[in-house]
Chains A and B, each alone.
Chain A
């Protein structure tokens, strides 16, 4: 099966600093792949190169067989890649439903329409998407007054608007309470299962990662030091070393699970 996403020898240097150094991996369709690593390991840099916010110093990114290296985020989005941000990025001046509707408008290429009332367009679709993330009851609330966890879910609904084949999620549970995190990742896992979307996500919280990821990649100082199934990563001494001996982390995970 051809991978949905493939990174080949990706590198990004800031002066002498090699934020990402020769990273290669691939993501299979329907896979939920986690990218973990300590702070400053290069996760966000890596992410931004995949989505086009940052140009790689070297290497290529292949989406579904097409080279997308150096393309702009909006072009990559058009090719079926959705994304959520580490700090939730929604439109504060709109209602919850309108946030999703804007994504739908963009998907249907209606953003330069001057005539119709936007709130009346794709409202049902938006509601269905919000329903997927359990936000339908808040559809007409002002996005600016939502709780943080709800904003995260709204963002997922927005990212799903163009039925992406790939979803890039930068720390989807950052800033959430532990119980909310589990619920949110469960939601993501369900979406992967139901829609066959592939997901690549970065994450700090190991509970979340080990509970839901199909496969895990570990990044340290810009280099990929491990890549494998959950159990293999758990057992990898290099990974344990990176995570301060690791023991505490993994036992904590077990306690939660």
Chain B
């Protein structure tokens, strides 16, 4: 009984910092509809800033003062990010802002390294709260009790702010209906900045508060991020009570998981998340997404047209030049371009899902890595030849996509995205954990191409054929009836349903198709690297693809591969420099601000402005010839 109570208290203490970070993320999403990937970075900053302040400020007053100050300072940094970066891109397509927040992650990582150095910092202990209290004979750290006391205080303060003050009423109104608040004459930008300040301050506070239980290190931004996402989604995005409930639930479950299922530490959280979302697709206390709320923001996509002869000839010519790369590019160029081609196919497959289907997946790496693992496992355990493995990899990935899509497509919008993330993480933890079969994080090595393709040049051609072929197939499907049905479901689902289209089935098929194409890329990847590791399934890989798709341009047909090629190329250059993450992060932010339609969309607009391209307002056919046609 004593132990049970002590474990419960440990869980409640852990819930404190988690709740603060999660409530900040939830608040920001609720009001601004921005999924703030950089929230973990603000948490990390809170820890570092708090640490530095504690070195300067003496005693107990200094300690607690440092925590509060750290919250305020991080809040101000967050507000600055909102004003300088995010405000520029509010009219961009749905979820585009998350690209900017991804840039912020990179910038913060390098800045923190510059300022605080690479060594982990051990957090100071809370003055006067170093010891333990014995509760029913079990030791309970005093600071844990302090955390348990502080959390409700913060929660109540938040509750008061949201329900009892004018600002809070605006925040709540904005969470429910943004246009309405704008219509009421409220200064929306001030509200957004304020929300960012508050949300980031909470993250900073959480980071500083956990110092006595740990410290500050450069990996903590990503470590907390997955956990916070899980909490926010389980609680219901935009719901503060939900965040509190979920933080407590996850923390307490974790404690008992550690005690009674010690091997479960990786998986438990995601299993709970999937279970909760299957039961309540919008989280415990979340509100159902109103249709269209997260639909297409900004101007609608342009109609797609099959390429004309001139374009086809040009593309064929460029491909011929590319195919000749081994003769003019040198041996490393072949390796690099093989990598880029594979990544382009991966990005293009996600782009198809996102651009044509309007389905934002945060877990697309599940299919890339899934395809890679299917191929690797087949080679390893069944001695499958490369050719067959390359065929079975997409089939395996497609099957995984069918299974995941079956559940995830019950939800829509951000919840769909979060469910895909949860499944990808589940799959990742399975691969990571099941060392006997998958090799765990030691991976599967020695998966090399068949003899005829073992030369780098030959493998390049194989990758060229399959990747470019895959990209062309994806592109063609966008022009095919299926692509139109998919876009119909995205543009207006009720209309499509009232027109005989089974929108869920169409989306499910698209999800499986995109998963298959990612599987092709995954299969190619394994044989080009000779090995595969769980890294190919982790969140970072999914984010990579997501970022390049947005950077390339969601509402264009070529955005996926253009973004992929550009990003990979630039990255390969930048990593040669010391502070490449800073440079890459700033570059991403600049692109986001300069070209909110993505690279391709931005270039198209530029071309139209310069008169090089025909603008959309006068498409072919409005001119006289069409009108003159006999109406028969």
Complex formed: what's the CA distance from A128 to B498 in Å?
A: 21
Knowing A114-B482, A137-B626, the reply to whether A93 touches B619 (Cβ < 8 A) is no
Task: Check A136 against B482 for contact (C-beta < 8 Å).
Answer: no
A192 CB contacts on chain B under 8 angstroms: none
Complex formed: what's the CA distance from A145 to B300 in Å?
A: 10
- The chain A residue sitting closest to B483, CB to CB, is A118
Knowing A111-B506, A131-B631, A136-B631, the reply to whether A106 touches B499 (Cβ < 8 A) is yes
From A90, A94, A136, residue with most partner B Cβ within 10 Å = A94
Complex formed: what's the CA distance from A74 to B485 in Å?
A: 13
Count of B interface residues, CB-CB < 8 Å: 44
User: Top 3 closest A-B pairs, CB basis?
Assistant: A140-B621, A92-B300, A89-B495
Task: Check B482 against A142 for contact (C-beta < 8 Å).
Answer: no
Q: Which of B195-203, B301-309, B540-548 contacts A (4 or more CB under 8 A)?
A: B301-309
B480 CB contacts on chain A under 8 angstroms: 113-118
Task: Check B481 against A93 for contact (C-beta < 8 Å).
Answer: no
B138 CB contacts on chain A under 8 angstroms: none
- The chain A residue sitting closest to B501, CB to CB, is A106
- The chain B residue sitting closest to A155, CB to CB, is B495
Task: Check A85 against B494 for contact (C-beta < 8 Å).
Answer: yes
A128 CB contacts on chain B under 8 angstroms: 632
A113 CB contacts on chain B under 8 angstroms: 480-482
Q: Kindly state whether residue A21 has any CB partner on chain B within 8 Å.
A: no
- The chain A residue sitting closest to B480, CB to CB, is A114
B632 CB contacts on chain A under 8 angstroms: 128, 131
B477 CB contacts on chain A under 8 angstroms: 114
Task: Check B500 against A78 for contact (C-beta < 8 Å).
Answer: yes
Complex formed: what's the CA distance from A72 to B499 in Å?
A: 11
Interface residues of A in 123-181 (CB under 8 A from B): 128, 131, 136-145, 158, 161-162
Q: List 24 A-B contacts (CB under 8 A).
A: A53-B494, A53-B498, A74-B502, A77-B500, A90-B491, A91-B495, A93-B303, A94-B488, A98-B303, A102-B485, A106-B500, A106-B501, A111-B506, A112-B485, A112-B506, A113-B481, A116-B481, A118-B484, A119-B305, A136-B626, A138-B622, A140-B619, A141-B621, A158-B499
Q: Kindly state whether residue A225 has any CB partner on chain B within 8 Å.
A: no
Q: Kindly state whether residue B497 has any CB partner on chain A within 8 Å.
A: yes
Q: Which of B482, B501, B631 contacts A74 (CB 8 A)?
A: B501
Q: Kindly state whether residue A110 has any CB partner on chain B within 8 Å.
A: yes
Q: Which of A72, A136, A140 contacts B622 (CB 8 A)?
A: A140
B616 CB contacts on chain A under 8 angstroms: 142, 145
Residues of B within 8 A of A (CB): 296, 299-303, 305-306, 476-477, 479-485, 487-488, 490-492, 494-502, 506, 509, 616-617, 619-622, 626-627, 629, 631-632
Task: Check A51 against B300 for contact (C-beta < 8 Å).
Answer: no
Knowing A89-B494, A91-B487, A93-B302, the reply to whether A140 touches B620 (Cβ < 8 A) is yes
Q: Kindly state whether residue A103 has any CB partner on chain B within 8 Å.
A: yes
Task: Check A112 against B303 for contact (C-beta < 8 Å).
Answer: no
Q: Kindly state whether residue A107 has any CB partner on chain B within 8 Å.
A: yes
- The chain A residue sitting closest to B486, CB to CB, is A111
Complex formed: what's the CA distance from A85 to B495 in Å?
A: 8
Q: Contact flags (1/0) for A175-190 with B, using CB distance below 8 Å?
A: 0000000000000000
Complex formed: what's the CA distance from A214 to B620 in Å?
A: 42
Complex formed: what's the CA distance from A141 to B485 in Å?
A: 19
Task: Check A74 against B495 for contact (C-beta < 8 Å).
Answer: no
Complex formed: what's the CA distance from A235 to B626 in Å?
A: 49
- The prevalent SS among residues of B at the interface is loop
Task: Check B621 against A139 for contact (C-beta < 8 Å).
Answer: yes
Nearest chain B CB to A63's CB is how many angstroms away?
A: 14
Q: Kindly state whether residue A222 has any CB partner on chain B within 8 Å.
A: no
Q: Kindly state whether residue A105 has any CB partner on chain B within 8 Å.
A: yes
Interface residues of A in 207-230 (CB under 8 A from B): none
Task: Check A105 against B300 for contact (C-beta < 8 Å).
Answer: no
- The chain B residue sitting closest to A115, CB to CB, is B480
A144 CB contacts on chain B under 8 angstroms: 299-300
B619 CB contacts on chain A under 8 angstroms: 95, 140-142
- The chain B residue sitting closest to A107, CB to CB, is B500
- The chain A residue sitting closest to B629, CB to CB, is A136
Task: Check A95 against B481 for contact (C-beta < 8 Å).
Answer: no
Complex formed: what's the CA distance from A31 to B477 in Å?
A: 42
- The chain B residue sitting closest to A132, CB to CB, is B631
Complex formed: what's the CA distance from A83 to B296 in Å?
A: 23
Nearest chain B CB to A77's CB is how many angstroms away?
A: 5
B487 CB contacts on chain A under 8 angstroms: 91, 93-94
Beyond contacts A94-B491, A131-B631: 19 other A-B pairs, Cβ-Cβ < 8 A, are: A74-B502, A77-B500, A85-B498, A93-B487, A98-B303, A102-B499, A105-B484, A105-B485, A106-B499, A106-B501, A111-B482, A113-B480, A114-B477, A118-B484, A138-B622, A140-B621, A144-B299, A145-B616, A161-B499
B629 CB contacts on chain A under 8 angstroms: 136
Q: Kindly state whether residue A62 has any CB partner on chain B within 8 Å.
A: no
Nearest chain B CB to A18's CB is how many angstroms away?
A: 24
Task: Check A91 against B491 for contact (C-beta < 8 Å).
Answer: yes
Complex formed: what's the CA distance from A98 to B303 in Å?
A: 9
Task: Check A74 against B622 for contact (C-beta < 8 Å).
Answer: no
Q: Kindly state whether residue A56 has any CB partner on chain B within 8 Å.
A: no
Q: Kindly state whether residue A101 has any CB partner on chain B within 8 Å.
A: yes
Task: Check A106 against B485 for contact (C-beta < 8 Å).
Answer: yes
Task: Check B484 against A77 for contact (C-beta < 8 Å).
Answer: no
- The chain B residue sitting closest to A83, CB to CB, is B498
B303 CB contacts on chain A under 8 angstroms: 93-95, 98, 142-143
B509 CB contacts on chain A under 8 angstroms: 112
Complex formed: what's the CA distance from A257 to B628 in Å?
A: 34
Task: Check B491 against A92 for contact (C-beta < 8 Å).
Answer: yes
From B482, B619, B627, residue with most partner A Cβ within 10 Å = B482
Complex formed: what's the CA distance from A107 to B477 in Å?
A: 19
Q: Kindly state whether residue A191 has any CB partner on chain B within 8 Å.
A: no
A95 CB contacts on chain B under 8 angstroms: 303, 619, 621
B302 CB contacts on chain A under 8 angstroms: 93, 142
A142 CB contacts on chain B under 8 angstroms: 302-303, 616, 619
Complex formed: what's the CA distance from A73 to B495 in Å?
A: 10
- The chain A residue sitting closest to B617, CB to CB, is A145
A73 CB contacts on chain B under 8 angstroms: 494, 497-498
From A94, A111, A118, A162, residue with most partner B Cβ within 10 Å = A111
A28 CB contacts on chain B under 8 angstroms: none
Task: Check A51 against B498 for contact (C-beta < 8 Å).
Answer: yes
- The chain B residue sitting closest to A120, CB to CB, is B306
Q: Kindly state whether residue A121 has any CB partner on chain B within 8 Å.
A: yes
Nearest chain A CB to B507's CB is how many angstroms away?
A: 12
Task: Check A94 against B484 for contact (C-beta < 8 Å).
Answer: yes
- The chain B residue sitting closest to A81, CB to CB, is B498
Q: Contact flags (1/0) for A54-93 with B, using CB distance below 8 Å?
A: 0000000000000000001110011000010100011111
A89 CB contacts on chain B under 8 angstroms: 492, 494-495, 498
Nearest chain B CB to A242's CB is how many angstroms away?
A: 30
B481 CB contacts on chain A under 8 angstroms: 105, 110-114, 116, 118, 121
